[in-house]
Structure 1
Amino acid sequence: MAFSNASTPKDPGHPYAKTKHISFEFFDQRRSNAPFGYEHFVSVPPNYGKELEKSWPLILFLHGAGESQRAVKESYASLWHGVPKLILCYDALKSGQTKQGDKSTDPVPADVCEMVTENFITVTPSLNMEWGYGWNASILSALLGEIVERYRVDLESVHVTGFSMGGYGTWDLAMHSPKRFATLMPICGGGDPARATLVKDVPHWIHHGDKDDIIPLRASQQMFNALAKYGAAEYVKFTRYPDLMHDSWTAAYGNFEVFEWMLRPKRKWKGDERVVPEENKAFVA
């Protein structure tokens, strides 16, 4: 099924997402099971248009509360950290720039930028606080349904990650549709330990700073303990950063190994790609 205008990018209203060496476009979510959808950035690998028979791994990235839109055309905030930072870093490196062009203080290793940009489709929704705080798992699931119909996605290699509010969103989305994801990488987030059994068979890599004074370490620790209780120890990695506070995402997303790890696992189940029934969706104004 083709969604109306689903493949038509729009102007984000700011220059921060402009790229020369990689496709990085901004879209409206066209179908949702709520009165609104998420605007979102999408990157595709440089060889996407050449390797026409290939399907590609996908990373869905969920930003934190501080990167949300609070006014018109503020989607640039969602580009400051995490996966979109890697995409923009790649473009800067290809342009011959040596300094990071965003608000983070630490530069991104070049090999990490290349690994992510050249091997994954990436999707970065931008949450508008006009619709309230926190990621809505059902709307995100509808967005993923739209993405897998728009692009050649390897359905056995769909990954979700996010930090802070996005760390909570990562677990919430996975618990909403646990058979959809190959890996989960929640960073300085938390979840509902009572529901951890729903995701016990999905490989995790949890990250958290020991000195986090925004979301305490115990939020991730409780989820790790619950997963271990349900027998998920062999599927769960937990990296604690003894000297870091809330910003453990710069270290996590700067680690080449986490993206190598994402490329290895495959889902145990088939199906479950479209978990929001079509009759529950409508076009978003």
Structure 2
Amino acid sequence: MNTLKTYFPVLVAILICCSSSGLSAQDKSLFEKRVFVNHKGDSLLYRILYPEHYDNGKKYPMVLFLHGAGERGNDNEKQLTHGADLFLSPENREHFPAIVVFPQCPMDKYWIDISVRKELFGKGDPDFSQSVEQPSEQLDLVNDLTKKLIKENRIDKKRLYIMGLSMGGFGTFETLGRWPKKYAAAIAICGGGNLSLAKKYAPHTSLWITHGGKDDIVPPILSQRVYKKLKEEGADVKYSLYPEANHNAWDPTFDEPDLLHWLFSKHK
């Protein structure tokens, strides 16, 4: 009996942890699994979350979220590793009803042209001017997906938003540069971008750029350059550097109490 008393609190804690894990998994299942196929037959896996009380009589903002390189694959699950919980929060679902889309990049692909990544290793042009004339195949697919979703759903085209972290942070800047008038606001986490494209979206998109001060994967200077260029162009842009964060700048970013309020307050 004493042994049971000793271990009972531990057993309760384990059960609570298991229950919490189950709820978390159940929550992520609210993101419906879908596959988009374009006119060429190319496919893109994605997950989509609808508002709790979806009303066909209303129009909703849409948030596009681009994951990092570590979440690439073909399971249509890993892309929800970072960021999904932010939109699954009951409080956020109540106060910020939106259609949220998480596409998944294949393991051997990138949101941006691969040559741009040379800068991460101290090679190439510091302003990423070596990037190709056109967006990557994957970003083209993502853009086609968003066009289809806008056409088929009750989406407010004046309230389109994009977020991304790491590889997705690069993809966010690149997306804005390729389709500069499309998104009302963007949150770019620990990324970087082509400075020559910044002037295209500076007048049209509000940005919140974040980075970890100790990031040893993507140097903070890469996002700071974009911020500086956007300020020069008169953009509505803010920059948050988290001194103690490494590459996981998404953690303090998602903890920003004003993050979603800021995002959803922006419109064309």
Counterpart in the other structure of 2:58: 54
Amino acid in the other structure paired with 1:134: W
Partner SS, residue 184 of structure 1: strand
Where does structure 2 lack aligned partners over 5 or more consecutive residues? Answer: 1-21, 113-137
State which structure, 1 or 2, has the greater radius of gyration over its C-alpha atoms. Answer: 2
Partner SS, residue 110 of structure 2: coil
> 1:87: how far off?
4.2
1:216 aligns with 2:219: yes
- Contact 1:28–1:40 (CA<8 Å) still a contact in 2? yes
Match of 1:29 among 18, 33, 36: 36
Match of 2:165 among 163, 166, 170: 163
Q: Following superposition of structure 1 onto structure 2, how do residues 172-251 of structure 1 map, counting pairs within 5 Å? A: 172-201=174-203, 202-232=205-235, 235-251=236-252
Counterpart in the other structure of 1:149: 151
Aligned length: 221
> 1:35: how far off?
5.0
Amino acid in the other structure paired with 1:206: I
- Write the distance in 2 (CA, Å) between the matches of 1:238 and 1:176: 22
> 1:168: how far off?
0.4
Amino acid in the other structure paired with 2:250: W
Alignment identity in percent?
29
Match of 2:45 among 36, 39, 52: 39
Partner SS, residue 247 of structure 2: coil
Q: In 2 relative to 1, CA 89–220 (structure 1 residues): closer, same or farther, beyond 3 Å?
A: same
> 1:137: how far off?
2.4
- Contact 1:60–1:124 (CA<8 Å) still a contact in 2? yes
- Write the distance in 1 (CA, Å) between the matches of 2:28 and 2:244: 36
Where does structure 1 lack aligned partners over 5 or more consecutive residues? Answer: 1-14, 91-110, 268-285
Q: In 2 relative to 1, CA 161–175 (structure 1 residues): closer, same or farther, beyond 3 Å?
A: same
Q: Alignment RMSD, CA only? A: 2.3
Partner SS, residue 40 of structure 1: strand
- Write the distance in 2 (CA, Å) between the matches of 1:163 and 1:187: 4
Partner SS, residue 178 of structure 1: coil
Higher helix share: 2
> 1:115: how far off?
4.1
Under a length normalisation based on structure 1, what TM-score does the superposition of the two structures give?
A: 0.72
Q: Following superposition of structure 1 onto structure 2, how do residues 108-119 of structure 1 map, counting pairs within 5 Å? A: 111-112=91-92, 114-116=94-96, 119=97
- Write the distance in 1 (CA, Å) between the matches of 2:95 and 2:190: 23
Counterpart in the other structure of 2:75: 74
Partner SS, residue 209 of structure 2: strand
> 1:222: how far off?
0.4
Q: In 2 relative to 1, CA 258–133 (structure 1 residues): closer, same or farther, beyond 3 Å?
A: same
Counterpart in the other structure of 2:130: none
> 1:226: how far off?
0.8
Amino acid in the other structure paired with 1:147: L
Q: In 2 relative to 1, CA 20–168 (structure 1 residues): closer, same or farther, beyond 3 Å?
A: closer
1:98-138 C-alpha deviation (Å, 9 max, x unpaired): xxxxxxxxxxxxx446545xx111000011124x2335322
- Write the distance in 2 (CA, Å) between the matches of 1:209 and 1:20: 28
- Contact 1:140–1:173 (CA<8 Å) still a contact in 2? no
